[in-house]
Amino acid sequence: MSYIFRSLSVGVLILLCSAASIIAADSPTYMSIEKYFDDLTINNKAISTVEGYTITREGLTIVLSSGTISFAEPWNDRTHIAYFTGVASLRYMPTTKVETDRLAQYNEGQKSFYNEFTDMVLFFNDSLYENIVKKFPPQKLTSTEKIKFPHKFKDLFSTYFEHREIIWSHSLLDARRNSSFHCMAYGERLKTVLYEFCPTEPEPISFYISKTTADNFEYNFVNLCPSINPAHNPEEELTVTHNTLDIKIDNGLKMAVTSQLRITVNSDEMKWSSFNLYEDLTIESIKDEKGNSLEFFQPDESNKIWIHIGASKKGQNKTLTVKYGGKIIKRIYDYTIIETSIQWYPTYGYKQKSLFDITFAVPDNYKLISIGNKVSEEKKDGEIISRWTVEYPIRNASFNIGPFSTAVSDRKDVPPITLHYINSNNKKNVLTDIAQAYEFYTKLFGPLPLQSLNATEIPYTHGEAFPGMLHLSWLTFEDSDNSGAWQSFNAHETGHQWWGIGLDYKTYRDRWLSEGFTEYSSLMYLQMMLGDNKKFFDILKNTREKIINAKKQRKSDGVDLCPISLGHRVASTSLTREDYHTVIYEKGAWTLHMLRNILLNLNTMNEDAFKTIMKDFFTTYQGKSASIADFQKIVEKHVKQDVSWFFEQWVHGSDIPVYHFAFKTEKTPDDKFKVHVRVEQKEVPPDFKMSIPIKIVFENGSSARIRVFITGAKSEFDLPPLASAPKEIIFNDLESVLATVKIEDWE
């Protein structure tokens, strides 16, 4: 959600470049600002000839070598917008290595961006206007004819028209000064680039590149960078602490909802605030704690609502009562389809956690299941009224409704687990997987505070997890294959009660801790709980091929497979739309597998070290949000050495090695056998290194393992002397490294 909002915020500049007259705006409203942008014109008294003027922002240097800068008519006596035409250059440098490497992929291999441009549109919220007109006094024009902004910029951004709220809320609606700065530059070689600095964002710097024409326009969302200013530590402007929901669903499955939001204001400057709500739900009214109606705006075909909460002080507590409704549920045969699993109630941001108290009233021919604990249920006047609460703040709330049948697990070492299903074909196996996985994870990672767990069938191909609740695809109830994929799927969604819910990820960059950890946990369930080594390794081998093939495809596209630490931004361009599951789930699982095998005792095959790390990480951060850096610290605490090389290669990097392996065996004078080994490491930097097991298999069926540390382009070494001739030498035993291994003859 956060990425979608930021990535589409380029639409701010569409309207900065629109046409026609100006309106007065003594009391800013959403609609008055929309009108201002739609009618935007140039201020005839604010056109200057500039020469050799430099604008610097974090990571950015703009030089206006020569040309004309025209400022827009002011908004509430303040100037925010300028249009430059002439000769200018823009230089940009990301603030981190990961982002620098990403820029190079979209910038012809260059790790900093530089280009000359002929046109620029600037949005600013500081003193840039005053500084420029002081140095370059405006021309004295006699004409009073309104001058429209160029349409070519509006045309380029028309796709993103509705997503312009970032600038409005923080700069214009609240009439505040800050360091918000946006530059859209247009030139010949590269059609457009866009730089954004949004000071209220944790990672305030965005950079986009487009090489397409106006007829076929799409941005590559290249960078989202943290600030290098240690003072940059923005706090969300309000916190929703409680959400009390009263929901009535009628026989036609139409919803009528009252949501009472208790909020804490975190800023003295905020007057307007935006919330998320599914676009097919219509607001009826919004009132404050005194019953006063509040001004709001709900744009068409948008999941945003804007609320004028009025002048507020930091630390002030407020209550908003939002009444809304609509039809987002429909029934097809025995299945009910809910159009959104989480945007059916007002939310602020996508990472905030709130306490929920939810009451549903539904027709008595349906069953309603929600998150947390069901504290009451009664049948009254043809309805079933149930109340659901959570004991601790959670990120997402959900529900499901349908003509479900139920089955309850009889497993004793887990809390009550109830399966709510439509299709009974595979219900027993699904329920068994959930209960066994829950027991397995409890022993492996630690206990949860859940009083019960509900799993519901949904008519989709994916699954979702919420506190005390699972949504499972109807396909898992039809499972007829024997690959272990659906067993893994059931265990994966169960595993989210630990990874992603019990321990939450801190930022979008840390999503590996949710999806990658859960994916590998589900594979460990196959291997260790079900005792199926074959399915475990078959899935690893299949996903290895998918990852390597995806990397080859990206290379042929002129880019590369993104690193895990880009989180959902892995899929932020048209070339990489399908890569999220490949990188975050599958490569994420492989990365944990590699760490597990590095820590494996090859003599005893004991893996207590890895288990201890995983349990310590979960118990340390249970009920909190953790980062990749936090996990690295836990690993280093137990192995007592620096493992940054591993994280740089596999989490923050995208290299995958190709090993060419060869060996020859010689008999020694003392009737022992010497094995000469040669390993060539390719398609990775020379300093790439990895710990790799080698398995030696003898004629009598016995075997031995040793570990070698491979780095550099070529390694040659001898294995320890052997008492008998080896039958087979297996390099990269136990699929210990995500790599391609090519066996060659010794020459």
pLDDT digits (tens, 9 = 90+) for 716-744: 999 999 999 999 999 999 999 999 999 99
CB burial readout 26-63, b (16+ within 10 A) else e: eebebebbebbbebbbbbbebbbebeebebebbbbebe
The pLDDT of residue 23 is above 50: no
**pLDDT, the chain, mean:** 89
Out of 138-142, 226-230, 593-597, 705-709, least confident range: 138-142
DSSP string, 470-534: EEEEGGGGG----SSHHHHHHHHHHHTTTBTTTBEESSGGGGGGTHHHHHHHHHHIIIIIS--HH
pLDDT digits (tens, 9 = 90+) for 335-357: 999 999 999 999 998 889 999 99
> How confident is residue 14, by pLDDT bands cut at 50, 70 and 90?
very low
pLDDT on residue 211: 63
User: For residues 696 and 675, what is the distance between their CA atoms, to the nearest angstrom?
Assistant: 10
Tokens of 14: 């569409």
Domains of the chain as residue ranges with CATH: 2-225 (no CATH), 235-399 (2.60.40.1730), 404-497 (1.10.390.10), 521-650 (no CATH), 658-743 (2.60.40)
Question: Do 269 and 176 touch, CB atoms closer than 8 A?
Answer: yes
Spatial CA neighbour of 657 closest among 739, 572, 549: 739
Q: What's the distance, CA 152 to chain centroid?
A: 32
pLDDT digits (tens, 9 = 90+) for 156-178: 443 343 445 555 556 777 777 88
pLDDT digits (tens, 9 = 90+) for 104-157: 988 989 999 999 999 998 989 999 999 999 999 998 776 667 777 665 544 444
Residues paired with 374 in a beta bridge: 388
Residues paired with 532 in a beta bridge: none
N-terminal to C-terminal alpha carbon distance within the chain: 56
Percentage of the chain modeled with pLDDT above 70: 91
Spatial CA neighbour of 176 closest among 270, 295, 306, 315: 270
User: For residues 32 and 87, what is the distance between their CA atoms, to the nearest angstrom?
Assistant: 34
User: For residues 299 and 162, what is the distance between their CA atoms, to the nearest angstrom?
Assistant: 8
Strand 625-626 relative to strand 504-505: parallel, antiparallel, unpaired? parallel
User: For residues 553 and 575, what is the distance between their CA atoms, to the nearest angstrom?
Assistant: 10
The pLDDT of residue 417 is above 60: yes
pLDDT on residue 526: 96
The pLDDT of residue 17 is above 50: no
Q: What are the backbone angles phi and psi of residue 474, rounded to the nearest 5°? A: -60, -25
Spatial CA neighbour of 327 closest among 282, 369, 390: 282
Neighbour-count burial of 631, counting CB atoms closer than 10 A to its CB (0-12 exposed, 13-18 middle, 19+ buried): buried
Element (H, E) at 633: helix 628-639
Write the single-letter amino acid at 420.
H
